[in-house]
Structure 1
Amino acid sequence: MRLHRRTLLAATGLSAGAGTFARAENWPSRPLRMWVPFAPGGPMDIFGRPLAERLGEALGQTVVFENKPGANGIVATHQVATARPDGEMLLFTTGSLIGNLAFSQQPLPYDPMKDVAPVSLVADGTGMMLVGRPDLPADMAGIAELARRKPGGLSCAITGFGNITHLAAEQFKEFTGAELLLVPLHGTGPSITEILAGNVDMTFSTVPPILPFIRDGKLRAIGYTGRRRALLVPEIPTMKEQGFAEWELIGMMGLWTTAGTPQARILKVQRAVHDIVRAPALAKLLREGEFEPQGSSPEEFADYLQRELAMQLAIARRVGLASRGRAR
């Protein structure tokens, strides 16, 4: 499973001489597409739509935002991985892109460390809030006890195996010693719908999409996996504050394109992303969502992804779900 940073950088076209012809070209000359591999209504929409709009303004071309859910992002990522390497198809997704490699029990139809090129780490730092039906216990001690007593455990919606919601659910089982019935769904919106309908007990989510339901009393917030309490729900203690000293999990959002895309095109998009996420409007939106704006270079993002893969592989091995096969 050992991978080297040079592999990622080669995929981006950052090797010497790559994409030199593109420096002088007037690109893009056609609309771009930004694919988000989750259903509408989740946090990726909240941040992705304004990012796409501002990126289009910066590049002088429309960036069409499209939801392409399916198989925890595998469907959309495969399409980007096999697209023409012209930079016109972008993938805006989470650490689930790496999670699919760490957790997948079947070979992937692509290699996320080779077949898609990292453009920029857009933002990171948000924790995951455990929320559930309003009749559930209000703290982790009560939830853990209920999950241990209930045959088969409580049901927990996740947005795909290898997704950060899956990692959080596996950590719940590891730290509490309780079982969970995992219910894979296509995004945060469907997860909330199933809880409100009484079909699922709980889920993990970033704060913005669940905040109205918490405030209306339709969902109960129980604990937060961040380094500190969520700014939007400061009354809810972290997992560490509730006695789980090693329970910390934060999420990220990044931008990729097809491997082999000329260096100049990747850098043009990355520089625009850097300026967009650090400008007051989007930086404020990100921070309100518990994210910290980044806009990193492709090289910095490549290093980040290596660390992310090591972390997710460690979790997968601890819970006995390490990937059984690499990409085909």
Structure 2
Amino acid sequence: MTDDTPAALPFPPVADVGEFGLIDRLEAILGDASKGEDVVVGMGDDAAVYRVGGAGSDGPSRVHVVTTDALVEGVHFDRTYVPLRALGWKAIAASVSDIAAMNARPLYATVALGLPNNLSVEGAEALYTGMAQACERYGLSIIGGDVTASARLMLSVTVVGHALEDEIVTRSGAQPGDLLCVTGDLGGAAAGLRVLMAGKDALEDDDDPLDLREFAAVVERQLMPQARLDRVETWADAGVRPTSLIDISDGLASEAHHLSQAGTVGLVLDGGLLPVHVQTALVAQRFEERAEAFVLYGGEDYELLFTMAESDAPKLAPDTYAVVGQVVEPDEGVVLRLPDGNRVPLQASGYKHY
């Protein structure tokens, strides 16, 4: 080693391995403690799944689906422009989205709150008003939790859902020839965040305030996203079971790579088929950015990315999904097909905690 070669840190920070690298290392430490006889799906998917009872000798087992999501002030939200009622809604919706991403339905939730001293009682009530509204929307109940003091506002939501074991869909299971689909338009949440941040900057710089009403649809997508539990019901009614499934919380590019790795398949995304709301396109134009960047790398849309057999497509109403690509052999990788037909590798970028 030469004199100018930096020495390796004896205790590297978690940023060096990233969120998923850290999870892999922690799972290795847990060993058998992360497994169980009745565990169907453990760490590494949108939610964990375990058996809770049989449906008879000739029927599938009943399972519970469990997910936990944390929201931390300064990391996931900024109280300067995020109303507390909207934050409460989003905390529930984000966890319900994980349940929907397993093709299951939510039952109960618990909530742990870390409250700073400068949060008013009315603020805490607004937070829970949003949670109550989301619970009513998605048909679940908050049955417990914890409250503690914290330097920053923090929320941790655990949701328990249910399904029959043979209804569960994981990130693996896609097969070459399957269609790659999404449940709605993409990039809206990232566009909404861009508008909110621009509004905050304008206030801090004493500039003319931004009229948020001009971009109300994408601002709402950022503040109060909709978990696509409705599509789980649509698939059940149509007799369709996706072959793989994930929710789009970190951006389409990142989630596509998760499906590819979990299923050991390649994916071709067609850049000309990506569904974009007109306001998302207008925000990109307003701030001289690319709508495709919002779609691929923005995150927090909470739509569902799924694959299905081509023969199942006619069973679904065309307005309930959009085909954005196809599943191919693994040696083709994850690529974006441009309008001119050329294919470029799609990087697994998106929201990163570290």
TM over 0.5: no
Which protein is bigger by CA-based radius of gyration? 2
Which structure is higher in strand share? 2
TM-score, normalised to structure 1, is: 0.24
Identify which of structures 1 and 2 has the higher relative contact order when contacts are C-alpha pairs closer than 8 Å and 6+ apart.
1
TM-score, normalised to structure 2, is: 0.22
